Structure 1
């Protein structure tokens, strides 16, 4: 932690807070630019691949910010429908929602895991907040995002790309309930918490590709706890991630959106399938070993306990209230 890192982190969080606490679109745009210009230096650590990813991210975010500013100018000229449409497309591009998702996959490969978490979670709060204030229905974009995020993740070997497609898929679910502020914020915070647990395990295990976890000679208990976290991200009951899917299913049933409910169920099954496939591949290579979870580190056991116990506790709390 040096002075430059502290400066950029604090100014990035300041930009996010300025946008979330503003009551006009110009100030929200200013906060977005502050957070963007503070996040770009955090992405550059001297590596050529990091510099390429930061340049791609800057170009895409700069283009979407320009479209956002043009949409604001169109609103000032009393062209409400056109301005709202331009703003919506700029925010969807900034988020990486399908069909504007291709840039996410080329950017994530050059990021460290701290910047990956920041890009997939922190930098998406403000655009989601703005979309939630608008009255546009994005059901088609949500369905397309869920389908692309679930199918494309089946063929991925890179952990970063797998998490990127998982983020794209979860963005589709967030956009599905974007006009219910409490619901999408609850969903997104739980998603960010599970993503943080997974990245903590990845950093402790020090691998970047799926085949490495099969071949590496590390503690089997850590491997099991890692895949429990991955299954929680996929939404397999009784893990914490299933609470998100249950909330969205309950929301769609209340809206009588049966088509979107069917799409949600099938795409969720695909997501669970590729997480289960990776889990089985990992475990089959260690089938002859004795499974001993007691020897895991305290952090690993805490992550396992959170994924197993948090969902029943939250469900009981919801039923009591």
Structure 2
């Protein structure tokens, strides 16, 4: 992605604009940071092909509409002298929260997210799933928590789990997985102010380790997983350990943030929300396991345009290190917790 000086400049503007939003002490300053962020990400998305152009146009229209609604609600709140962040939310608070949820891609405002992901490269998809969520989520955490957020949490986990069941595109699969994880982040935000940052950090690391492999092998669809690692069982295990860790299977490190959120929800007596999150995550784990079973058991070989898969030694070492961390870290954390 960073193959010329213009894209490097836009990449640094992207990083800086998020910092402007997070560190701003006024809502107009936060809105300005979001606008700069949008205008910096659009040139990074465009890879001079039809799909990326369509994706960037969809992203621009959605984000511009969300920014307009956000600015409208902020001005209306200032005109009516409604203090934002008061304990009892007003209708302007709900409009601001809705526009930020639209920016982050949470259900029921998620319709643009899988379609935009489908037209992006893997590195741009990683930025959209991780970095682009920091500013909206940080602003949502400033808002008063209410029953509307609880409804969004339930809808996000349901849409993220059921939407990924019939997908054959790996990018759309990751998009619906991201919507499901966003529901967990909002649930963590509702119970503890800093817990969603912990969850987000784990999610970013696991997404990076998985997308690093998918990008390295230029994979886009499920059927490529079946015969891609026909000659290398090690690479196949590396990929699916990362997949299961992202799904939150207990031996892997991806279970740790879910474990912490479940514990917080139980302590706050939110048993119904915790049960819904857990059941819907089991469905996401089902379509991850379906990929793993198909790839491990249906190990067939067929003619392909690229018959041999080349990988350099450095990439293999990076994959091995990332997978080791995502696989065995939870065991080490549990043992250290027992002995301390």
Which residue matches 1:262?
A: 275
Cα distance in 1 for partners of 2:235, 2:257 equals 25
**Is this contact kept in 2: 1:201–1:226, CA < 8 A?**
yes
**Aligned-residue offset at 1:313:** 2.8
Check 1:319–1:89 CA distance in 2 against 1; reply closer, same or farther (3 A cut).
farther
**Is this contact kept in 1: 2:45–2:120, CA < 8 A?**
yes
**Is this contact kept in 1: 2:180–2:281, CA < 8 A?**
no
Q: Does 1:219 align with 2:215?
A: no
What 5-or-longer segments of structure 2 have no aligned partner? 83-89, 302-312
Q: Does 1:150 align with 2:161?
A: yes
Alignment RMSD, CA only? 1.8
Check 1:319–1:142 CA distance in 2 against 1; reply closer, same or farther (3 A cut).
farther
Cα distance in 1 for partners of 2:169, 2:256 equals 27
**Aligned-residue offset at 1:218:** 4.8
Matches within 5 A, 1:53-202: 53-78=55-80, 80=82, 81-137=90-146, 138-179=149-190, 180-202=192-214
Cα distance in 2 for partners of 1:21, 1:315 equals 35
Secondary structure class of the residue paired with 1:97: coil
Deviation string, structure 1 residues 271-305 (Cα, Å, up to 9, x no partner): 111111110000002399xxxxxx99322321221
Which residue matches 2:327?
A: 308
Secondary structure class of the residue paired with 1:297: helix
Deviation string, structure 1 residues 15-65 (Cα, Å, up to 9, x no partner): 011111111111111111111100000001111110000000000000000
Check 1:218–1:9 CA distance in 2 against 1; reply closer, same or farther (3 A cut).
farther
Check 1:182–1:314 CA distance in 2 against 1; reply closer, same or farther (3 A cut).
farther
What 5-or-longer segments of structure 1 have no aligned partner? 289-294
Which residue matches 1:272?
A: 285
Cα distance in 2 for partners of 1:18, 1:317 equals 38
Cα distance in 1 for partners of 2:19, 2:338 equals 33
Deviation string, structure 1 residues 111-164 (Cα, Å, up to 9, x no partner): 001110111110110100011011132111101110111111111111000000
Which residue matches 2:21?
A: 19
**Is this contact kept in 2: 1:19–1:32, CA < 8 A?**
yes
**Aligned-residue offset at 1:315:** 3.7
Secondary structure class of the residue paired with 1:207: coil
**Aligned-residue offset at 1:320:** 6.9
Equivalent pairs, count = 315
TM-score by length of 2: 0.89
Cα distance in 2 for partners of 1:108, 1:240 equals 26
Cα distance in 2 for partners of 1:303, 1:94 equals 30
Check 1:23–1:300 CA distance in 2 against 1; reply closer, same or farther (3 A cut).
same
**Is this contact kept in 2: 1:71–1:83, CA < 8 A?**
yes
**Is this contact kept in 2: 1:92–1:100, CA < 8 A?**
yes
**Is this contact kept in 2: 1:95–1:124, CA < 8 A?**
yes
Q: In terms of mean alpha carbon deviation, does 303-312 or 246-255 score higher? A: 303-312
